[in-house]
């Protein structure tokens, strides 16, 4: 019988191996930029290679588990499901910016029980197991608490489609004057870990997929944050919001009337 710690440990081992492979194979920036215009560019190839490695490692140990990956979609139908983002923050990966991550979560009967976010260039591996806390380099993480909205440093992100971005910019125009400042790091998984580590106070975004927020979401909630959507709904691609409970409420009440779940 596996424990949550076993899942977290295996996910960590695999996320570290994928990270090492990506670091070793990531070509120098100019070469990557030169190939980005092609549909089978280096980033896509390494995204796929990373996911294939992760899938192979999971299957070798747990052949009956289901896997959902950003690149390979959904396979299997076990009670245990692995949720994999082989590179979260692909644009950062492309430009050589430090916020890109390998993100792996493990769900049992629909509940995320373990999560690992390896922010590879920073050498930071965030881990969490349900009920057992969130950790970075042996240190237990705690999100910031008691921060009012007007003092909050808030991370967010933008989608890839123009219509969605238009609305995101409109919503952001209402948020900027009401918070300390905004950060756009470029990886939702890393943003959620930043909430956990107190590097930002909150995060919201329209559009992140479950592989973007499953592992980081557990890291954040195990560090004391609340993760959810609008009006009591769970976090989803419609909207994902994360902060300590008090700030969560304030951010929610600022965002809800702005109808941030629409696309233009």
Q: Which of 72, 98, 133, 159 binds ligand IPD (CB under 6 A)?
A: 159
Is residue 109 among the annotated active site residues? no
- Please report which residue ranges of 62-187 form alpha helices under DSSP H: 90-95, 162-175
Nearest approach in angstroms of CB 160 to ligand IPD is 7
* 157 near ligand IPD, judged by CB under 6 A: yes
Cβ-based nearer residue to ligand IPD, 74 or 150? 74
Which CB sits closer to ligand IPD, 12 or 205? 205
- In contact, 220 and 134? CB cutoff 8 Å: yes
| Contacting range for ligand IPD; rule: CB under 6 A; set: 54-62, 184-192, 225-233, 252-260 | 184-192
- In the complex, least distance from residue 56 CB atom to ligand IPD, rounded to whole angstroms: 20
**Residue 188 found at the interface with ligand IPD (CB under 6 A):** yes
Distance CA 240, CA 84 (A): 18
For residues 210-249, which are near ligand IPD according to CB under 6 A?
A: 212
Question: Of residues 18, 32, 71, 89, which one binds ligand IPD by CB under 6 A?
Answer: 89
* Among candidate residues 156, 108, 134, the one with its CA nearest the CA of residue 220: 134
Q: What minimum distance in Å lies between the beta carbon of 26 and ligand IPD?
A: 14
Residue 50's Cβ-side half-sphere holds a number of Cα atoms within 13 Å equal to 34
Q: Does 187 bind ligand IPD (CB under 6 A)?
A: yes
For this structure, is 88 an active site residue? yes
Q: Does 158 bind ligand IPD (CB under 6 A)?
A: yes
178-202 burial: b if 16+ Cβ within 10 Å, else e:
ebeeebebbbbbbbbbbbbbbbbbb
Choices 4-12, 134-142, 186-194, 196-204 (CB under 6 A): range interacting with ligand IPD: 186-194
- 207 lies in the binding site for ligand IPD (CB under 6 A): yes
Q: Is 99 a catalytic residue?
A: no
Which residues, in sequence order, are CB contacts of 16 under 8 Å at separation 6+?
Answer: 118, 125
The single residue listed with the structure tokens 């009012």 is: 148
Q: Kindly list the distances between the CA atom of residue 101 and the CA atoms of 10, 123, 134, 215, in Å, as whole numbers in the listed order.
A: 17, 10, 17, 11
Give whichever of 19 and 186 is closer to ligand IPD, judged by the CB atom.
186
Read off the DSSP letter of residue 103.
Answer: E
Q: Which residue is nearest to ligand IPD (CB)?
A: 157
User: What whole-number distance in Å separates Cα of residue 190 and Cα of residue 112?
Assistant: 17
Contacting residues toward ligand IPD, per CB under 6 A: 85, 88-90, 157-159, 186-188, 205, 207-208, 212
């Amino acid at each position: 019988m596996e424990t949550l710690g076993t899942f977290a440990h295996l996910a960590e081992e695999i996320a570290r191996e994928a990270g090492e492979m990506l670091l070793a194979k990531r070509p120098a920036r100019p070469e990557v930029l030169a190939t980005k215009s092609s549909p089978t560019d280096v980033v896509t190839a390494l995204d796929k290679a990373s996911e294939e490695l992760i899938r192979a490692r999971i299957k070798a140990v747990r052949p009956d588990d289901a896997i959902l990956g950003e690149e390979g979609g959904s396979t299997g139908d076990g009670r245990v499901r692995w949720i994999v983002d082989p590179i979260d923050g692909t644009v950062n990966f492309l430009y050589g910016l430090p916020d890109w991550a390998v993100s792996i979560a493990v769900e049992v009967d629909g509940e995320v029980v373990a999560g690992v976010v390896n922010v590879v260039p920073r050498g930071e591996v965030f881990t969490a197991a349900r009920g057992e806390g969130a950790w970075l380099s042996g240190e237990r993480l705690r999100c910031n608490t008691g921060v009012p909205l007007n003092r909050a440093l808030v991370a967010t992100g933008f989608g890839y489609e123009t219509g969605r971005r238009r609305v995101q910019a409109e919503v952001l125009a209402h948020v900027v004057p009401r918070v300390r400042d905004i950060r756009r790091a470029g990886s939702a998984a890393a943003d959620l870990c930043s909430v956990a580590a107190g590097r930002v106070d909150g995060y919201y975004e329209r559009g992140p997929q479950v592989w973007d927020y499953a592992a980081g979401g557990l890291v954040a909630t195990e560090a004391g944050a609340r993760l959810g959507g609008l009006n009591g709904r769970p976090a989803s691609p419609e909207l994902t919001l994360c902060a300590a409970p008090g700030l969560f409420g304030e951010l929610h009440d600022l965002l809800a009337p702005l109808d941030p779940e629409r696309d233009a």
